Structure 1
Amino acid sequence: MKLKNRVAYYFVSRIFWLMLIWGILIILSIVLISYFLEHHQKESPQLSINDIVEYTVFVDQKPSIESEVEADLLSNNMWVQILDAQGNEVYSFNTPESIPNHYTPGELVSDYLYPAKNDFQLSTWYNRIDNQDLTWVLGKPLTSNNPFQYWVNNLWILFIILIGIVIAIFFGRQLGAPLLYIVSWIESLSKGNYEQPFYNRKFNIKQRWRNKTEYHTYKELNQALSDLTSTLQRNREERELLDKTREEWMTGVSHDLKTPLSVIKGYTVLLSSDDHDWEQDKVRYFSKIMEERVEYMEQLIEDFNLTFQLKNDVIPIQLEQKDLVNTLQHVLEHLKKMPEAKNKVFSFEADKEQIFLNMDTNYVKRAFENVIANSIKHNPPHTKIKVILHEEQSYPRQVRVSIEDDGTGMDPETMEHLFERYYQGTSATSDNTGTGLGMTIARQIIIAHGGEIKVNSKRELGTQFIITFLIEEE
């Protein structure tokens, strides 16, 4: 069942149960009232009020009761009163001293409904005789009196209210607790507290059935908030790590820029000094060193910009069907001219003369140059570097490039961080002109072309880079 349907069902069912329980309480209260009324009126006198009215006589418009009826009243320990329209007693017989001789309408009704209050039971009759409005009141003491029943009868409304409050709290907790919990969770996230609240951890373990019922309705929402919390927490940790590594990298870059700048500044001071008259060869030598340092700085800034542009997809990749065999051959020929490549042994193998790939040639060249240059720069003389190009006929078709060397290899930590941005900067020395971003850029370019790169290496056994691209079917 979808979340909105389940929430609607949950609320409707709770409202139904609330109405049902309230209905039962109302019916129960009516039954209790009827019970107490019947209980206290179940005693009926031997003389009926009708008989007394029938045997009432008037002498000079004053009512009285025949002697036979009076004898019956005495024998049954009963009394009678006749009241006028104002509630004043105009006749009475055998009335106890505690019985009032005047009644208000409400007082008479109260005594009639609650006989246990005054320890007697009343019956009343109204009639109009000789233009007189008369009320007959027949009374008899109660044979049994239970004060507890009277107080229960008076306090039943209070009990119903208390029960209603308990029910309201129960259903309010069921309906409101999960929503308040979710709101507090969202509020906690808005304040940057990316941790699951206590009750959510409790929700993830076994609970009593009522807790399961309350929170099970919102399980998708709870799961979404849990995923969001984990994502925000992970992003914060990654951002903190990124800020830390960026700061470390910027420190390294600042140092790397400072070194060539100090060289350039030193030679500039020498060339501009009036104390020396430099020969032309010396000037050219100084200028050459300054040019190399400027080129390194330019390369460092370019790599720095390129890695961020690739990461944010702001560089448009122009894809065209180009021959990857020819591209790799050009890359190798170019890299063989590096000073560090003079004492390395290169080989190239391809199972086809032409293998076409949808690529941006300039960027693909840059990626392979960085990977192969890594093998050239970080291995001793006479290292064998082999590039193998193979087209796999499996579905989907793939082209696989393997760059292998038998050099010094890498330790596990270096392999783990090899493609990470800011992991290592390289100082600007004459022996190493790298910027420390080459492998990061290579990986980003390969991924931008829908490929992947993996590395296998062991110390003193060499390194193998495996680069794979998908070939689109025409």
Structure 2
Amino acid sequence: MVRRRLAVRFGLQLAGAGALLVLLAVVILFWILARFEDFEIRRNFAPTGISRLIAESRTDANGLIADPVLMARLREDGGWLQSLDEDGNVIQSFNAPGDLPTQYVPGQLMDYWIGGAPYPYRLGLWIQEKDGVMYTLLYGARSPTEDLLGRLIDDGRLEGGSLSFSESTLAMLEQRHGWVQVLDREGRELGAWRRPEEAPRTYTLQDLALQSANNDGIGTLMDTRYDKRTGYTWVYQYPMSEAQRHTMPIPDMVPEAQVMIAGLAAFLLCALLIFSVLSIWYANRFGTPLIQILGAIRRLGGGNYTELVQQQPKRRRRLFRLPSAGKRGNRIFGEVFESLESLTRALRAGKDAAERTQRTREEWIAGVTHDMKTPLASIQGYAHMMAADKYSWTEDEMRKFATVILEKSEYMDKLINDLSLTYRLRSGDMPVVFEEWDARELMRKAVLRAARQPGYDGARVRCSVPSAPVMAELHEPWFERVVDNLVANAFLHNPPDTVLRIAMTRGADNESWRIDFADNGRGMNEETVERLFDRYYRGLNTESGAEGSGLGMAIAKELVQAMGGRIEARSEQGRGTVVSLIWDRSAATRIIPEAAQTGRDAS
């Protein structure tokens, strides 16, 4: 059960972690694709930006309503859009300058598009269908420095390797914090204005192409213009803005590679975080109970059965209190905790029982020793008297001494036999033959024999049996011994006027039967009833007479169990005692081994 719970819990949690990682990977992938699309839009708003603008825009009776984010990108790109109908009329404009026409003749538009007619902007044409309507978008863009370059060419004067400009042009240059170079047809510098010392003086075709399309690696941008009249190339370089610097890629690394690395790093970091949290959770949820279990087992191995609960921290749930429904962590190990709790109770009970058994054994041995010394002292005393030369005893006195010695010897012999019988019953070393008897007849004979004992008043014994036979497999000597012990116990430890009622009854199924020995004596307290059949418990005074060996009830219990029954007792002080012998389906099985149930009689 624990293994299945652990497998299910680990499987579900790992599956959940895997699903979370897959979801994270999908999110990062979409983010990477979105970033790629943003880069493409930044590099060239058409066609990616225009296609996305049409796809994400809402339409109404007036045409397209552009997405505000893309429109901001359009303004950053320095471009504009015009939406045309089928006749070339402009129906909607976005960020359009004032020098654009409001209507385009189809042939004229084609000339503008293919460069057949001059047009002040880089022009792009995009046609796309949306919601059943065909949209035609005209896109144009101009470099933010294009007007400035034209003014530099018209206003600049090249004299002796230096450039000079008018006051108004210088004011524009001062605002932009850039510098200007003029190159000849071979790319060599003819003149410059405020060129930094580290800037190159000669450019190849590849240098101009690369630096115009990208930055130079130190945070500057370049725009160029070729003057057809002189054959010179004018180069204007200016620093990036702070926003452009933050988005500037690492040298020798394209933005897409940066995004890929950032996405992979984010995925690995999140995966590490997830597994770290999962590891800490596992350590707390599973490691802590396992440490508690190992600590409990170690303490149990050391014989500590009372401090297992007390040693737990106050803030934690007690070790052997079952976890509540809200505490799911320990529910997995609930069976383990229950087993440890049961084991602790069993070991503690066993330890207490062993200590109690040792204590009662010592008390019992002390009582039995006293019981044996008392008759032995009498035997020794009379033997010394008979052996003394200075006394001359008569024949009657000698016979009286011999009678006392014989009685004491018989008592000692009975005590020794009882001791031997209890241990032989417990070990199963009692080969006997069980025969089928009518229990009624055996009980009548046993009660009559027990009532004839000296000191008993047979009139105080009442016995009743059922009319129908009660057949059972019994051993006659053992059955008589049980009855004799119960009758003797009722008379020896109760007042002289005690009445004993013995009743045999049959069960409703005609297979079970019982015998109740009920007296109206002084009764017993709860502790005596609980330990009445304990071999090492002696509830009576050892000086209460020679008839009792202190083992009668223990022997009765062992003999009844050996014959397939069970014995019970209930008592109340001042109200008497009832001892019941019960034979039914729930009775204990015989403790005598089957292989040992043949052979000599145990009587």
- 1:133 is matched with none
In structure 2, the CA distance between the partners of 1:431 and 1:251, relative to structure 1 (3 Å rule), is: closer
- After TM superposition, the score normalised by the length of structure 1 is 0.68
Q: 1:348 to 1:240 in 2, by over 3 A?
A: same
User: Which residues of 2 match residues 242-257 of structure 1 at below 5 A?
Assistant: 242-257=357-372
Larger mean CA deviation between 267-276 and 322-331 belongs to 267-276
What is the CA deviation profile of residues 83-113 of structure 1, one whole-angstrom value per residue up to 9, with x for unaligned ones? xxxxxxx999998567899xxxxxxxxxxxx
1:389 aligns with 504
Q: 2:532 aligns with which of 418, 421, 439?
A: 418
8 A Cα contact 2:292 2:319, kept in partner? no
Does the C-alpha gap of structure 1 residues 188 and 409 become closer, same or farther in structure 2, counting only changes over 3 Å?
closer
CA offset at residue 370 of structure 1? Answer: 0.6
Which has a greater percent of helix? 1
Match of 1:166 among 277, 299, 310: 277
How many angstroms does 1:340 deviate by? 1.2
Letter aligned with residue 445 of structure 1: L
Alignment TM-score, normalising by the size of structure 2: 0.55
Q: What is the deviation of 1:281? A: 4.0
Q: For 2:413, which of 291, 298, 317 is the aligned residue?
A: 298
Which ranges of structure 2 fall in alignment gaps of 5 or more residues?
Answer: 45-76, 78-145, 153-172, 182-186, 202-214, 223-236, 251-260, 587-603
After TM superposition, give the deviation of residue 242 of structure 1 in Å: 1.8
Aligned to 1:107: none
**CA shift in 2, pair 1:313/1:232, >3 Å:** farther
Q: Where does residue 108 of structure 1 map in the other structure?
A: none
- 2:294 corresponds to which residue? 183
Cα deviation, residue 13, structure 1: 1.9
Aligned to 1:440: 554
Q: Could you say what secondary structure the match of 1:466 adopts?
A: strand
The answer as to whether partners of 2:219 and 2:240 remain within 8 angstroms in 1 is yes
CA drift at 1:418: 3.1
Relative to structure 1, the CA distance from residue 8 to residue 259 in structure 2 (aligned partners, 3 Å threshold; closer, same or farther) is same
| Equivalent of 1:368 in 483, 486, 489 | 483
Q: CA deviation at 1:464?
A: 3.7
Which residue does 2:305 correspond to in 1? 194
Query: Counterpart of 1:8?
Result: 7
Q: Output the amino acid matched with 1:328.
A: M
Give 2:446's match in structure 1, choosing from 331, 341, 356.
Answer: 331
Correspondence 1:204 to 2:322? yes
Instruction: Give the stretch that moved more between structures: 259-268 or 434-443.
Output: 259-268
Q: Is 1:467–2:578 an aligned residue pair?
A: no
Q: Which amino acid aligns with 2:493?
A: H
Q: Report the Cα offset of residue 387 of structure 1.
A: 2.8
Q: Number of residues paired by the alignment?
A: 410
Corresponding residue for residue 17 of structure 1: 16
1:179/1:13 CA distance change after superposition, 3 Å: farther
Distance 1:344 1:414 in 2: 28
C-alpha offsets along residues 396-455 of structure 1, whole Å, 9 cap, x if unaligned? Answer: 532232334444444555444433333326566584320122122213322333433344
* 1:227 paired residue number: 342
Q: Give the CA deviation at 1:338.
A: 1.6
Aligned counterparts of 1:163 and 1:37: Cα–Cα separation in 2: 27
Partner SS state of residue 388, structure 1: strand
Give 1:33 deviation, angstroms: 7.7
CA shift, 1:369, in A, is 1.0
Percent identity of equivalent pairs: 26
Paired with 1:95 and 1:361, the residues of 2 have a C-alpha distance of 132
C-alpha distance 140-161 of structure 1, shift in aligned 2 (>3 A): farther
SS of match in other structure, 1:339: coil
What CA distance in whole angstroms lies between the structure 2 residues aligned with 1:408 and 1:318?
38
Q: Secondary structure of the equivalent of 2:559?
A: helix
Query: Aligned equivalents of 2:199 and 2:480: distance in 1?
Result: 119
